[in-house]
Structure 1
Amino acid sequence: MRERVKNRFRDLKIFYKVLLACLSMTILISLVSGGITYFIASKIVLNKTIEQTQETIHQLVDNYDAFMELMNYRVNTIAFNETVQEELREEEDEETKSLQTESYYSRARRVNRLLVQMFYSIQMEDIEIYGEGNRVYFCSANDTDKPFLENEDKLIESARNEKGGIVYYNDLEESGCIQVVKQIKDNLTMTPLGVLRIGVRTSALERIQKDINFGSEGKVLLLDQNNEIILGDHIELSKQAEELFTDWYGNFQYEENNETYQIVYAISEDTGWKTVGIFPREVITNSTSPVQLATIASVTTGIILSIILSILMSRMMSNPIRKTVGALKDVSKGDFSVRLEDARKDEYGELNQEFNHTIEQMENLLDEISESRLLNKEMEFKALQAQINPHFLYNALDTVSWMARAKGEEDISDLVTAVSKLLRISISNKEEMFTIEKELLYVKDYLYIQKTRYKNRFEVQYTIDNRILSHKVPKLTLQPIVENAIVHSVEMSSKKTMLHISGYMEGEDIYLEIEDTGIGMEKETLDHLLKPSKEKVNLKTTHTGLGLYAVDQRLKYLFGDDYGITATSVLGEGTTIKVRIKGEA
C-alpha cells in the first residue's frame, strides 16, 4: 500500500506535486499556528477571568469584613456603655427593680433605649443582653417577647470562653442567623457582668453580593471559620474545605457530578470566613467563542490564500517545464528552429540555455550529416559512373595487356595492368578499410600511371615506419591527396617536382604526410580544397577539389573531430598535407 501511494505520487505531474507540497505545508502551518494562537488566547482569557474573579472575591471579603466590623462596633458600643455597665454591676432587689423598670429614666429603661438605638432591622434579627443575675434585656422588630433559643447556653458559654473577645456563631439551623456574641466585663475590674448577643440576618450578607455576577451558572459560597455554610447551596466542596483551602487565597479546578468548575477563594483575616467563587469552565469556553471564531476565520482565510498562492507557484514552476516538453515534442517532429526563452537568470534559464545550445548542436550535426550524405552520394555516383560494365572493362584491359606483352611491349602491358588494378580497387565494395600497406600499393599503382603520363616531371620518395603498415585506414584515403599533389603541383609546375610520402607514429596516433616541392597555393585555394563553399572559386584547374574535403569528413566521422587533414602551403615552395589517423589499440 505504501509503495503504491509512493508510486502514484511519483507519477503525478509537477504541477500537482508542488501544489500538494505547498498546500500540505501551509495548511499544517495554519492549523498549528491557529491551534497555538487559540491555546494562548484561551490561556489569557482564563487567567484574565481568574484574575477578575479574584478581585471580585477580595472585594466581597472586604465588604463582608466591613459589614461585620460594623456589627462589632455596635457590639462594643453596647458592651462598653456606662449605663449598661452600671445596670449589670448592681444587684437590685425586686422592689427596686420594679421601680426602676417603671421609671422612664431608670437604667433599665435607658439600656432598652440604647438597644433600640443600636438595633437595625435590615441587618439584625434581635439584640439581647444576658446579665449575671439572670437579668435579660431584649430588643427585636418581630416580637416583644424574648424568643426561645436552643443554643442559648452554648452561645453564652462560647462568649465566656473567649473572655471578652467577639465570637461569630453559625446558628442558621436553629435561628437562621449568624450570632455575634461578646462577654461584657467591668471596665475597671474586668469582672464578668454578662453576655451580649446580636442576631445578624443572612439577608444582609446576601444583599452585599447581590451585584456580583459569575455568569448564569456561577455562584458564591460563604463558609464560616468552621467550614459551615453561611451563604450558598450545600455542595460536596464544603466537606473538603479543610484540604482545599490551605492558603489565604488561591484558585484551582474542581470536578463534581462530571462537571468541571473553576474555584477562586479568599479567607478573611478578621472573621476567618471563606468566600468562594464557583463558575463552570464552560463560562470560560463561552467567553473564548469570539477568539475561537476569529481563529477559525483567520485559519480559513490563510488556507484559502495558501491555495491561491500554491496554485500560482505551481504554475510558475510547471509552466517552464511544460514549455520545454512542448519544445522537445516539436524537435522530435523535426522542427529544429524551436527555441526557449533563455533571458531568465534562474535554473530554468540555465536549462533553456542548455536546451537551445543542444538543439543548435543537433542542427549543425544534422547539417554535417546531410552534407556528408551528399558527398557520399556524389562519390557513389562517381563510383557508379566508373563501374559501367566493370567486367567488360577488366576483360578488355586484360586483353590489351596480353596483346602488348605478346608483342613485347612490356611498358604498355605494365601500364595497363596498373590501370586495371586501380580500377578494380576503386570500384570494389568488398572492403571499406585497407591496411596502410595495401593503401600504399594502391598509391604506387596510381603514381606509376601518372609517371607514365608525365614522364620525368616528378619523383617520389617514401619514408614509412614499418610499425604502421598493419594499421587500417578507410579505402582511398591517400589516393585523393596524392592526386591533389599531382594536379596542383606537377601539372602547374614547369620544373621537376619532388613528392615525399612519409608515415610515422606519435603516441597512439598515426600521421601520413604528402609533401611536394611544387608552386604552392594561395590561402583561398587551400581553404576551398579543405572546405568547399557554394560560391565559385577561381581555381587554376578543372579538378573539383572535393577529394580532400571528402577524406577529411570521413576521417572525422570515423575517429572524431581531432582527426583528419591539415594543410600548409607556401607560394613558390610547395604544399604539405598531413593526415592524422587514430591508431588501433
Structure 2
Amino acid sequence: MKLQYKYFVLFFALFVIVSIGITLTISYLTNIILVKNYKKMNEESLNFVVRTVDKEVEQLISSINAITSNSVVIKRIQTNYRFAKPEDILNDDHNVSNTIASMSTYNLFRTIQAVYMKGINGEVYQYGFGTEFDEDNKVEERIYGEDFKDNKLKFLGVERTYYRLNENAYVMKFAQKMYNNLGENIGWIYFEMNESFFADLFVNEKLNQHTKLYLIDHNNKIMYSNDNYIKGMIFQMNPLDGVYTERGLKNFQWKLISETPRDYISKDSELTVRVTIITAIVSIILEMFFVFIITRELVKPIKRLTNGMKEVRNGNLDIQIHTTSQDEIGELTDSFNEMTRDIKTYLQRRIEDEKAIKDAEYQALQAQINPHFMYNSLNTLRWLATLQEADNIVDVIDSLWTLLHNTSHIQDQFVNLKKEIEIIDAYCTIQQVRYRGKFDIEYNIEDEHYNIVVPKYILQPIVENAIFHGIGPKKALGLIEVKTYTMDHDLYIEVMDDGVGMDEKTISQIMQSNTTATNKRLNNIGVNNVNDRLKLLYGESYGLVINSELGLKTTVTIKIPIKNNGVKLKD
C-alpha cells in the first residue's frame, strides 16, 4: 500500500475514532444528566409522599393509643368474667366494638382487618369480620417472642396473616402493651393491617407512570409494591436496571424507595443520540475530503526522495534533490544529499583501504615466521646441551619450549587443569635453576580434577607470587603445595607456600595491583587480574582469597564453578 493511502487510512481512522468517541461521550453525559433530573424529580415527589405517610402513621399511633387508654376497653380487658353473666360480657364486647368502630373514620384505620386483645388475667377480645384468628394460638406465640418498650406501638414486620379469612395474604403486623390508669400492665393489643391503604394513597401521587414505589420495613422486606407477587420478599436494588431514590420515614424505620427503569430514561436520550450520530456522519464525510488533500501534499516530497533513492540503487551517486522545506522532510532531504556524497567518498577510500589491508596481511604472514624461528633455535640449543651433557640447560630449554608453545596460543581462553599444571610446572623448572633449587613444588590433585575446565593463566601468577614474596626472602629451603578439592559443585584450588608470609598491608597491595614485584612477568598477568577475570567470568561469589601468617605461610584459595557454561576445549 502506498504511503499516501496509509496516511489517508490512518487519519481517517483517527477522525472516525474521535467522532465515535464524541458521540459516545455525548450519549453518556446526556444519560447522566437525565438520570440526575429523574432523581431530582423523584426526590421532590418522595418528599411529599413521605410527609403524607408519616402523617397517616402518626394518626394510626394516636388512634391505637386512644383505644388502649379508653376506659371501656381497659374495663373489658381488666375484668375477670369467669362468674359474670353472659349478657354482661356481650354488653361490654359491644361497647368495645363501638369504641373501635368510631376510629374507622380515619382512612388508615379502615385497612385494619382484625384486632386481638388479651389481658394478663387471660381475658381475650377479638374484633373483626367473619371467623376468629387461627385457633393454634399463633398470635400469642408471636407476641410472647417480642420485646416491648413501654406503651409504644411496635411494628412486628410483614408476614402471612393469622386471620383465617385471608390466610395466604401478607399483612403488616403491630402490637402494643396496655396499661390502666395506675400505670399497671394489664395486657396487650395486636392487629393486622393490609397494604390497600398505601395503594390508594400512592395512586394519587404525581409520579411518573413508569416509576415504581416500594415501602420497605426495618428488615428490608417489601410492605407495598406495584407488583403484588413480591410483597413480603426481601428488597434488592439493581443499579443496572433502574435509578433509585430513597427516603426514610419517622416511625418504625420504614423506607420509601422509587425505581425508574433505565430503559425508559434511555428513550428520552434517543433524540440527542440521533442528532449526534447524523452530525458525526456528516463530519466524517467532510474529513475524508480534507484528509485526501492533506495526505497528497504531505507525500509529494517523500515521493521525490523515493525516486532519488531508486537512482542511487541504480548506481547514480551524483543525484541531488532540491528542497526549500524547513521541516523534518527538508532535513531528511538534506541528509539524503549528504549521504550520497559520503557514499561516493567512502567508495573511493575503500579502494585505497583494500590495498592497505592486503599489505598488512602480507606483513602478518611474514611475522608468523618468528615463532618458528624461535622453536628451531631452541631445538638447536637443546641438541648442543645434550651433546655436552648439560642436563639443567636441557630442562630449562624444555620448560621454555612449553611456555612458548602455550603462549603462542594466547587466543585460547580456557584449558583443562592438567594443561594449567603443565604451565606452572615448566615455569617452576626455570625458577628452580634461577634460585638454585631453593624450593620444591608438590601437587595433591585428584585424578578426576585434571579434566575440569579452568581459565588459562590463573595459577602461574599465584605461584610466581609465592616464589618472589614467600620463598625468595626466606633463608631456608621452601615448599609450594598445589591442592584441589570440590564443595557444592565448585572447584577449590589452594596454592600454599611456607615462606615468610605477609601482613594485611602487603596482601592489600597485591590485590590492588595488576603486577607483582618484578613487573616483567609472563604476559604481565597479576594476582588482582586473576581475581577480576574470575569475577567477570563467573560472578562476585567466585575469585580468590589470600590468607597469610607472617613468618609462617601463605595460602591462596581459588574458587571456580565446575560447570563452565558449555566451554569446549580445542584439541
Which band: TM-score by shorter chain? 0.3 to 0.5
Larger Rg: 1
Normalized against structure 2, the TM-score is what?
0.42
Normalized against structure 1, the TM-score is what?
0.41
